[in-house]
């Protein structure tokens, strides 16, 4: 049997403790956390206990971990503005890199990452976890039976706490309100809706029109994003997301074809998470295999994502969500910002890698 992948963690905050850790514990036959790095001693203590990481393999500086730990790869789960630095350093150390989204805060940073990955011949992937929820995976199986897309849409609404940008708020939230640190609605929460609906459309976005604005919250980043995309096959899709709108019916995406439609609650594990429309049967709720299993604990899709990613890494295959996928999603976001400034659509080919 192949030995488990020896994994180092760069960043041990909330998403690691709540979501990534659940995946690593479920995949002990293929991955083992052997070293961790974080600037906060409390994060090191908590994650070190979860995975029984020896104290000499707990590092305040991630560069010390890269230099001294015996690891095959790292996951990066730090604030957005640190992703590029951490990915380039890890790639330069010759280890595989799995980065939380977004891969970077700009296309220039993304290209620097891809250059380092290619130069050092290492595997690189980005966490697009909501593609791996049970609802989305069953949705893709149903999608294969439908024809070409004509229209898609996704929405993700919610209210941020009134003080989330202040020094009194949760530090894990406060940096998201800072432009300098890569915060903002479109690059954070809207990011999931963009890749989810684009995957269902089964045709890459080509043109982007948008309004990305700050309308309600006293922050220097956007709190609302509205996108209209035209895809390579001529179909159109919309994404609407906000930090300043109450959550009533949110966290879903749809695709419509001439043969039928699908509606998926990609962020939730609910009985009505997947619906299919046909002209003969109208809308019907579909059963999702495994959803009712009492052992099921993957509402965010992280277990499914990491299972597919570590399996590909162990087999020497390209990771399922590659740097190319991460850059394309980032290009849509950059195009949306430019479209807002110019008040006209942006051709994604103008943002291709140089």
| Domain residue spans of the chain | 5-126, 147-258+329-348
Dist. CA 177–CA 116, nearest whole Å? 29
Of 80-84, 288-292, 305-309, 325-329, the poorest mean pLDDT is in 288-292
Question: Model confidence at 176, in pLDDT bands (50, 70, 90)?
Answer: confident
pTM above 0.85, yes or no: yes
- Say yes or no to pLDDT of 167 above 70: no
Q: What is the pLDDT of residues 213-258, one digit of tens each?
A: 999 988 889 999 999 999 999 999 999 999 999 988 788 999 999 9
The model's confidence at residue 275, banded by pLDDT at 50, 70 and 90, is very high
Q: Cite the DSSP H helix spans in the chain.
A: 14-15, 21-26, 41-51, 62-68, 83-92, 107-120, 134-143, 171-174, 190-201, 302-315, 323-342
Q: Is pLDDT at 291 greater than 80 in this prediction?
A: no
Asked if 12 and 39 touch (Cβ cutoff 8 Å), the reply is: no
What's the confidence (pLDDT) of residue 294? 57
Q: 345 pLDDT exceeds 70?
A: yes
The mean pLDDT of 176-197, rounded to a whole number, is 92
Domain 5-126 and domain 147-258+329-348, same fold? Reply is no
* Region 290-297 average pLDDT: 66
Domain 5-126 of CATH type 3.40.50.2300: no
What is the chain's alpha carbon radius of gyration, rounded to the nearest angstrom? 20
Please give the angle made by the CA atoms of 32, 37 and 43, to the nearest 5 degrees: 95
Q: What are phi and psi of 274, to 5 degrees?
A: -135, 125
Query: Assign residue 169 a region: left if phi > 0, alpha if psi is -120 to 50, beta otherwise?
Result: beta
pLDDT at 168 over 60: no
Tell me the CATH class for 147-258+329-348: alpha beta
- Give the rounded distance of the alpha carbon of 168 from its chain centre: 27
Q: What is the mean pLDDT of the chain?
A: 93
Helix (H, G, I), strand (E, B) or coil at 9: strand
């Amino acid at each position: 049997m192949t030995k488990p992948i020896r994994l180092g963690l760069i960043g041990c905050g909330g998403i690691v403790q709540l979501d990534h850790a659940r995946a690593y514990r479920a995949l002990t036959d293929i991955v083992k956390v052997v070293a961790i790095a974080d600037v906060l001693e409390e994060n090191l203590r908590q994650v070190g206990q979860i995975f029984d990481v020896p104290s000499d393999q707990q590092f305040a500086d991630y560069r010390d971990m890269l230099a001294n730990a015996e690891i095959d790869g790292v996951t990066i789960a730090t604030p957005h503005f640190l992703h590029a630095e951490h990915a380039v350093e890890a790639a330069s150390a010759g280890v595989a890199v799995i980065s939380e989204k977004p891969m970077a805060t700009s296309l220039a940073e993304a290209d620097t990452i891809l250059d380092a990955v290619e130069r050092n011949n290492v595997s690189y992937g980005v966490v697009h976890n909501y593609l791996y929820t049970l609802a989305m995976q069953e949705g893709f199986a149903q999608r294969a039976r439908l024809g070409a897309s004509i229209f898609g849409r996704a929405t993700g609404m919610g209210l941020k706490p009134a003080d989330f940008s202040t020094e009194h708020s949760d530090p894990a939230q406060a940096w998201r309100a800072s432009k300098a640190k890569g915060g903002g609605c479109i690059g954070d929460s809207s990011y999931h809706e963009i890749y989810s609906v684009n995957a269902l459309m089964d045709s890459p976005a080509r043109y982007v029109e948008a309004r990305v604005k700050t309308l309600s919250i006293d922050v220097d980043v956007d709190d609302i994003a509205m996108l209209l995309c035209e895809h390579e096959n001529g179909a159109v899709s919309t994404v609407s997301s906000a930090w300043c709108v109450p959550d009533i019916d949110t966290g879903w995406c749809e695709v419509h074809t001439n043969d039928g439609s699908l509606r998926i609650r990609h962020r939730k594990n609910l009985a009505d998470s997947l619906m299919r429309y046909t002209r003969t049967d109208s809308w019907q709720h579909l059963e999702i295999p495994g959803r009712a299993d009492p052992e099921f604990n993957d509402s965010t899709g992280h277990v499914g994502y990491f299972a597919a990613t570590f399996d590909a890494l162990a087999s020497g295959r390209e990771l399922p969500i590659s740097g190319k996928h991460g850059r394309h999603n980032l290009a849509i976001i950059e195009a949306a910002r430019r479209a807002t400034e110019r008040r006209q659509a942006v051709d994604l080919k103008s943002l291709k890698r140089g």
